[in-house]
Amino acid sequence: MFAASVRGAGTAVAVFRTGAAPAPERRAVEDRTSRAAQDQSKKVPSPVVAPAKILFLGNSYNPLSVACLRALVDSGYETTVGAYDPLGEGALRLFRRSLKNRGWTGILGKTGQLIRSTAKFVARRCGLPLEGFASLPELIHARELKTIPCADPNSREFIQNARQLNVDLIVVAAFSRILKNALLEVPRVACINVHPSLLPRYRGPEPFYWVLANSEKKTGVTVHHMSEQIDAGDIILQRDFDIQPNDDVSALTERCSELGAVSLCDAVQALMTGTSQRVPQVSTDGSYYSFPPRGVSVRTSRARVRASRSVGALRQVSPVYSADPLRDPRWSAFLDRHPRASVFHSIPWLQALNRTYQFEPVVFTTTPPGEELRNGVVFCRVKSWITGRRLVSLPFSDHCEPLVDSSNELDVIRGHLQTVQESGGWKYVEVRPAIRAFDDTSTEERFQPSKRYYLHTIDLGPKIEDVTRRFHKSSIQLSIRRAERRGLRHECGRSDFLFEKFWEMLLHSRRRHCVPPPPAGWFRNLRDCLGNALKIHVAFKDKTPVASVLTLKFKNTVVYKYGGSDQAYHRLGSMPFVLFNSICEAKSNGAQVFDLGRSDCENTGLIRFKNRWASIPTLITYWRFPGPAPQTSNAESRSLKLAKRVFQSVPDSVLKLAGETLYRHVG
């Protein structure tokens, strides 16, 4: 979507932007657009259909938005405009967002544009005869168009007002917000967008700058159906044109505005007559470019922006592509090569998350489609009506290292994530690296620490005798010998019988900790997806299960992920016994590392227990944008204590139901 200069502002009529064409060029664009729309209607006889009712959303001072609205009005469509004054949210907040995105160069350009547009609007209201339109408010006033308030297009109030209009189409041009499904489902026919590039390439807010910076030979306009993802809906029609040697951003703005307005009218006509086509975008061919580097002017009046003029900027702001790891075969091959890949990156783990909780995985990478992956950061889209929409890497995973080897590539992906969070309406983005820091000290608004844990790993490189000799003598070695003397036995496998015993032990432990267990379906899906990489270890006293752990294997690492025990048998050393046997089984199968999982920094008892296994503790930090997780208030603490008391006393069936209901919202 051709976004406004202020990200996440919720604008239907957004702030002045630097990339606008000058007034004489804009008037020429508008005149040619109007004539083209009229000529087009003369060439193609219109079938007898009811006049389309349209709700239009655009940016106040964007030439493409102005040209598209004027073309719709001149074509005779009954058009209502979602209107919004960006200054109403506060000039200081607006200034800070613009400064962050554009720098002082962008601020000065936008200020001048706002002054010119406001002066022209005032002059027109005073009755002065003027040619062309510089902004949507000016066009709305001159044509006496209907408007509805649009502070937030996804708000309940706006959606209710839109439904009352009974519109056939919602038309978006140069809009800064992603529309959610509640609004996308309002129009009778479709919700469509006009994007000034040849999708799926050059998704994002400033395609004009990037096609010139990358020395493209062609560009164009795409009219497409809208979805919650950025510029990703099915294509209705596309039209391209050659980029001339002397073209600059202003020239492309002019030509795309003219072509976009005519293309929009053709698309509307096809939709209303039922003759339009839907061509799905090939996601592997897509590319996303964020805003140009701060301090780089996106408007050049005489010279074309060339890559040679912004080499330094392009090293910092490169295209970021998205891929579906469940369908893109490059992801599996990439994990096989990368030394820091873990089971939490693997396709079976992502499949289990998707099957159980409907979390949609996505990989962000700087590698173009069709090339062998060089890097990637995998996320899941968590959409909850209770806890909000967020991007997490990854839910229910102890860690998920960004598989990026270059600091420059990491900077690029990090900046892209910030843009996606703001433009996509995500509550936050959370990254869970196991090694590297994810902060960015070069910007005021950056990823910040949200949670810290200790990650404990046991080196299985030496002989098993040497490994066990390092275990704590009294609390670990003695407990293992005690369990063997008391006749505890160990079984390992993936059978339904062992699965039921593991689930029984897990339920015991979760009740003891006053929290519901994960859904049983989650463990079934893990078993189905991971196959032999998943093992269930159960310790028995005679025929009674007393402790159990679930391990996951990936390459040369085995991860202890879940465990449970019956507290009545702790004096027998049941948990050290079953954990010791799982370590021995991992060593016998060639594992070099045994991952004991994460421990909350405040859980000193658990940390002490894991340290006694001669494990190596590593401090890991989760990073979140924007800002850290909010501190728990006293009211929330009381609520948690009350919930724990309830979970401690409810029947097993209620405790299981609570887990099946709540876990999809807390990923």
Whether 446 and 467 share a structural domain: no
| Model confidence pLDDT, tens digit, residues 273-311 | 989 999 998 766 677 777 665 545 544 433 344 333 333
Query: Which of 665, 94, 101, 97 lies closest to 427, judged by CA?
Result: 665
Residue 553 forms part of a structural domain? yes
Whether 119 and 265 share a structural domain: yes
Query: Which of 452, 453, 470 lies closest to 461, judged by CA?
Result: 470
The secondary structure of residue 477, as a DSSP letter, is: I
pLDDT at 7: 30
Give the residue from 450, 474, 490 where a domain finishes: 450
Whether 2 has a pLDDT exceeding 50, the answer reads no
∠ Cα 633 635 640 (to 5°): 95
**Residue pointed to by tokens 């804009």:** 26
Whole-angstrom Cα Rg for the chain: 29
pLDDT band at 345 (very low <50, low <70, confident <90, very high): very high
Whether 327 and 292 share a structural domain: no
Of the ranges 39-48, 263-272, 620-629, the best mean pLDDT one = 263-272
Check: CB of residue 386 under 8 Å from CB of residue 665.
yes
Whether 40 and 172 share a structural domain: yes
Whether 325 and 185 share a structural domain: no
More confident residue, 547 or 4: 547
| Model confidence pLDDT, tens digit, residues 192-211 | 999 999 998 888 878 888 88
Can you tell me the mean pLDDT for 253-268? 91
Count of other CB atoms within 10 angstroms of residue 155: 15
Whether 503 and 430 share a structural domain: no
Give the residue from 428, 450, 472 where a domain finishes: 450
pLDDT at 417: 87
pLDDT at 105: 53
Residue 618 forms part of a structural domain? no
Whether 434 and 583 share a structural domain: no
Whether 273 and 130 share a structural domain: yes
Residue 456 forms part of a structural domain? no
Total structural domains within the chain? 3
Whether 436 has a pLDDT exceeding 60, the answer reads yes
pLDDT band at 588 (very low <50, low <70, confident <90, very high): very high
Whether 180 and 285 share a structural domain: yes
Distance CA 661, CA 542 (A): 36
Residue 121 forms part of a structural domain? yes
Can you tell me the mean pLDDT for 153-159? 90
The sheet with strand 488-493 has its strands ordered as 321-323, 360-365, 377-384, 388-393, 428-431, 616-625, 448-459, 593-600, 557-565, 544-554, 534-541, 488-493
Can you tell me the mean pLDDT for 343-349? 96
DSSP for 228-244 reads SSTT-SPEEEEEEEEPP
Residue 166 forms part of a structural domain? yes
Check: CB of residue 198 under 8 Å from CB of residue 170.
no
Whether 316 has a pLDDT exceeding 80, the answer reads no
Give the residue from 256, 284, 312 where a domain finishes: 312
Residue 408 forms part of a structural domain? yes
Whether 235 and 285 share a structural domain: yes
Query: Alpha helices of 190-319 — where are they, by DSSP H?
Result: 207-213, 249-273, 311-316
Residue 604 forms part of a structural domain? no
Whether 300 and 155 share a structural domain: yes
Residue 624: partners with Cβ closer than 8 Å, 6 or more residues away: 428, 429, 430, 431, 447, 448, 449, 450
Whether 140 and 46 share a structural domain: yes
Residue 16 forms part of a structural domain? no
Can you tell me the mean pLDDT for 139-158? 87
Check: CB of residue 23 under 8 Å from CB of residue 253.
no
More confident residue, 70 or 312: 70
| Model confidence pLDDT, tens digit, residues 387-416 | 888 999 999 999 999 999 888 888 888 888
More confident residue, 559 or 37: 559
Give me the CATH number covering residue 393. Answer: 3.40.630.30
Whether 536 has a pLDDT exceeding 70, the answer reads yes
Q: Following CA atoms 17, 19, 22, 26 in sequence, which dihedral angle do they give, to the nearest 10 degrees?
A: -90
Range of the domain at 431: 320-450
Give me the CATH number covering residue 198. Answer: 3.40.50.170
Query: Which of 490, 459, 460, 457 lies closest to 588, judged by CA?
Result: 460
pLDDT band at 6 (very low <50, low <70, confident <90, very high): very low
Question: What percent of the chain lies above the pLDDT cut of 70?
Answer: 75
Using DSSP, state whether 197 is helix, strand or coil: coil
∠ Cα 473 478 483 (to 5°): 150
Beta strand 190-195 with 218-225: parallel, antiparallel or unpaired?
Answer: antiparallel
